[in-house]
Chain A
């Protein structure tokens, strides 16, 4: 029962009704107000969330900016890297061009030596051959002067033949691809000395051959080194005659030809040596020794083409080694060379003498 009904029975208490309505309205308003507060809270919460979102957004934007910066940096790095790579490519290109040039000049040398071997030797053979036939078939009808000239033609032809062959040999050494293998050098030296026996015939030569180590080298080329050096040693000791004959002449210098082959150790590498007590040379011409066609003696005194030592130098250089010489006029000459490799094997009985006389 409402308050308006209890106050006056049978009559409507409007005042009470109004009060009831007012209360109800207030209740409703109160409810609304609570709802409003809740809504406000919710709104706050939403705002908070939105703010958070906004912070997230800012953070994202920042991250994005940072990422973009990073990308930009990367781009710069990339451009730099591209530059470096371009430079590298250019270097590679330069190297390729250099290699091609070297190969082209090698090919040129090859075709040059090929045509020298083919084209120059033929006319030489013809000059020599026909002048020989002339002497043989018509010699009896030629006067001595004519025959003498023909002999000069023939000896000129022979010399030129040696020159051409020497040059070809030099060119061949240049083209020869180095094949290193462990090689005992004493058998090679012995073989060379055997080859040179005919040159030493009728002479007394003391060979002093030390124990040489086995080294990594190209046997064909190294044999050529010893051959060229020993040919020279034999040639330039020619005035060293037997001891008893020299006694008659009365010189105090050692007058028996002595040719030594040996080796020493220097900074861990082996230095080979070929020494003779021949006519030697003046050290002021030492720079000329290894040049092509360079000769320090007159052709009448000592035959030769001036290619032998140039070939030795070429071979030594091919091995990555060094060659040099020491000499004194009338005392002798010593040639040293290395083969550009660390010592491969222990030197056997260094300094031992396995000499012999020819």
Chain B
């Protein structure tokens, strides 16, 4: 798989959730450029272009990261924290997608700079609707920060 230019990074350890999300994204034709990281460490390697993702470039960040909270090795909060505190990655939209709507998770996520927080609905129709809305908004409606802008931000630091 070509991981150099991707639209979505889905960070999901649960196979079932991954399949359901991919199914929903495919239906909306949003799954052509998607990579699934199965734990927080892999997600960080991907986003920071290191390890097996050493060929990737900060110039081609994903347009959207769908990030689960509970992850093996490095949890979602830590991934979010690292992404949002580094000028090279802080402009990447991160949408928390999780089973929990615990107040403390919401507060902490927004505090760390999450762009959105979504509780995965139990009902599959609602789940699909949610994935569709999120995917279309960030990939089609939203205008991402230009590549030069990211450089500027990194330099200004």
Contact = CB atoms under 8 A, between A and B. Distances in A.
Contact of B123 (A119, A130, A161): A161
A128 B120 CA distance: 13
A158 B100 contact: no
A122 B17 contact: yes
Contact of B122 (A118, A119, A125): A125
Given A125-B120, A125-B127, A158-B123, A118 B70 contact: yes
Nearest to A161: B122
B23 interface: yes
Interface string A116-143: 0111011111101110110000000000
A334 interface: no
Given A132-B124, A132-B125, A161-B122, A125 B102 contact: no
Contacts of B101: 117
Given A125-B20, A129-B20, A133-B23, A157 B122 contact: yes
Contacts of A158: 122-123
Interface in B119-136: 120-125, 127
B99 interface: yes
A129 B127 contact: yes
B14 interface: yes
Interface in A74-95: none
Contacts of B70: 118
A114 interface: yes
Contacts of A130: 16, 20
A128 B122 contact: yes
Given A125-B17, A126-B20, A133-B23, A114 B100 contact: yes
Contacts of B23: 129, 133
Nearest to B105: A114
B121 A125 contact: yes
Q: Choose among B16, B69, B120, B124 the residue with the greatest number of A CB atoms under 10 Å from its CB.
A: B124
Nearest to A121: B99
A125 B118 CA distance: 15
A122 B13 CA distance: 12
Contacts of B100: 114, 117-118
Given A126-B17, A129-B20, A121 B102 contact: no
B75 to A, nearest CB: 12
Nearest to B16: A126
Nearest to B125: A132
A146 B133 CA distance: 32
Interface residues of chain A: helix, strand, loop or mixed (majority): helix
Interface in B22-55: 23
Interface string B90-120: 0000000011111000000000000000001
A118 B96 CA distance: 14
Q: Choose among B23, B99, B120 the residue with the greatest number of A CB atoms under 10 Å from its CB.
A: B99
A124 B20 CA distance: 12
Contacts of A121: 99, 120, 122
A339 to B, nearest CB: 23
A150 to B, nearest CB: 12
Interface string A40-57: 000000000000000000
Contacts of A132: 124-125
Contacts of B125: 132
A164 B122 CA distance: 10
Contacts of B99: 117-119, 121-122, 125
Nearest to B17: A122
Nearest to B122: A161
B109 to A, nearest CB: 14
Contacts of B17: 122, 125-126
A126 B99 CA distance: 12
B71 to A, nearest CB: 12
Contact of A117 (B20, B102, B127): B102
A319 to B, nearest CB: 20
A104 B16 CA distance: 34
A117 B101 CA distance: 8
Interface of A: 114, 117-119, 121-126, 128-130, 132-133, 157-158, 161, 164-165
6 contacts: A117-B100, A117-B102, A122-B17, A122-B99, A133-B23, A161-B122
Interface of B: 14, 16-17, 20, 23, 69-70, 98-102, 120-125, 127
Given A128-B123, A129-B124, A130-B16, 17 more contacts: A114-B100, A117-B99, A118-B69, A118-B70, A118-B98, A122-B17, A123-B16, A124-B122, A125-B122, A125-B124, A126-B20, A128-B122, A129-B20, A129-B127, A130-B20, A132-B125, A165-B122
| Cβ-closest 5 pairs across A and B | A161-B122, A129-B124, A126-B16, A132-B124, A129-B20
